[in-house]
């Protein structure tokens, strides 16, 4: 049975440990390790799922490579050997397939959520206010109903506790108008591409979350892309609005 990797201790400068990923410094690059930790409702659970990190890394790499011509991203390569160019140590074999080397960007502290369907916390907010992150929606929509157009519903990026809904105007105040506009346009473009690709395979991507950073005076996609950790996937043949 494959061992579960819930924490790493590489002989490299550790600059961050998120809910799922451990991040190591490689000068102008980063080594991002997707562990097998489970995060639910912004809380890290005490057990992991074997090879979950490998699945996340492989899926992100797939989408980074497919969408790189639509939206620039930080992805360089998935670790496929214990010796990696630019990494000054020999990596343990359990890093193969679960770690990736990326370009280092300056994180923009916003979670860019896109919703194509009315579900989860978005549904709860809609029931209370008729809106999500300041975006007014038509009355009498059903839970899980597909929206006429995908909507950009950002949240704060909390280091601890729950991320909170914010408006586009809040994003402008936090990150500036140029970054806010780029993140909105690029998030929607990425979601539409992923939604259409998955739909042809019988999968609905109900909503997803992206993160962005600055690199060389450009807003680029970072972190992960269209994984089960960042997205809500439904089998299309079981989809039914109202539940």
**Residue 55 belongs to a domain with what CATH number?**
3.30.200.20
The reply to whether 219 and 138 lie within a common domain is yes
Global pTM value: 0.95
Using a 10 angstrom Cβ sphere, with 0-12 exposed, 13-18 middle and 19 or more buried, the burial of residue 201 is exposed
The reply to whether 94 and 182 lie within a common domain is no
Distance of alpha carbon 235 from its chain centroid, rounded?
Answer: 20
Q: CA dihedral defined by 109, 112, 118, 123, rounded to 10 degrees?
A: 0
Task: Give a yes or no: residue 1 inside a domain.
Answer: no
Of 75, 61, 135, 68, whose CA–CA distance to 105 is shortest?
75
Residue tagged 């450009």 (tokens): 218
Asked if 38 and 49 touch (Cβ cutoff 8 Å), the reply is yes
The reply to whether 129 and 71 lie within a common domain is no
The reply to whether 77 and 128 lie within a common domain is no
The reply to whether 118 and 176 lie within a common domain is yes
**pLDDT at 1 exceeding the cut of 60:** no
Task: Give a yes or no: residue 5 inside a domain.
Answer: no
Q: Distance (Å, rounded) from C-alpha 128 to C-alpha 132?
A: 10
CATH code of the domain in which 159 resides: 3.30.470.20
Of 120, 117, 133, 103, whose CA–CA distance to 212 is shortest?
103
Task: Give a yes or no: residue 193 inside a domain.
Answer: yes
**Domains: count for the chain:** 2
The β-bridge partners of 205 are 233
The reply to whether 120 and 232 lie within a common domain is yes
Domain extent, residue 133, equals: 107-238
The reply to whether 68 and 115 lie within a common domain is no
Query: For 91-143, how does the pLDDT look when each residue is reduced to its tens digit (9 = 90+)?
Result: 999 999 999 999 999 999 999 999 999 999 999 999 999 999 999 999 999 99
Angle at 180 between CA 176 and CA 185, to 5 degrees: 155
Query: For 136-181, how does the pLDDT look when each residue is reduced to its tens digit (9 = 90+)?
Result: 999 999 999 999 999 999 999 866 656 789 999 999 999 999 999 9
The reply to whether 74 and 95 lie within a common domain is yes
Q: What does the pLDDT read at residue 197? A: 98
Task: Give a yes or no: residue 8 inside a domain.
Answer: no
Domain final residue, candidates 73, 104, 135: 104
């Amino acid at each position: 049975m494959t061992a579960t990797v819930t924490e790493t201790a590489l002989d490299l400068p550790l600059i961050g440990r998120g809910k799922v990923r451990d991040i190591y410094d490689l000068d102008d690059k980063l080594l991002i390790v997707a562990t097998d930790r489970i995060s639910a409702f912004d809380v890290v659970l005490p057990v992991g799922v074997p090879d979950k990190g490998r699945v996340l890394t492989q899926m992100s790499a797939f989408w980074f490579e497919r969408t790189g011509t639509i939206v620039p991203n930080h992805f360089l390569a998935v670790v496929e050997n214990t010796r990696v160019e630019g990494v000054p140590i020999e990596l343990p074999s359990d890093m193969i397939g679960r770690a990736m080397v990326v370009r280092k960007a300056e994180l923009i502290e916003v979670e860019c959520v896109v919703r194509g369907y009315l579900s989860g916390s978005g549904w709860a907010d809609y029931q209370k206010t008729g809106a999500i992150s300041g975006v007014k929606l038509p009355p009498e929509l059903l839970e899980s109903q597909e929206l006429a157009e995908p909507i950009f519903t950002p949240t704060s990026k909390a280091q601890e506790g729950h991320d909170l809904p914010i408006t586009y105007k809040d994003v402008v105040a936090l990150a500036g108008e140029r970054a806010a506009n780029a993140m909105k346009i690029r998030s929607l473009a990425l979601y539409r591409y992923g939604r259409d690709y998955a739909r042809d395979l019988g999968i609905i991507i109900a909503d997803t979350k992206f993160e962005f950073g600055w690199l060389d005076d450009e807003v680029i996609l970072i972190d992960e892309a269209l994984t089960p950790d960042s997205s809500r996937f439904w089998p299309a043949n079981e989809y039914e609005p109202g539940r």
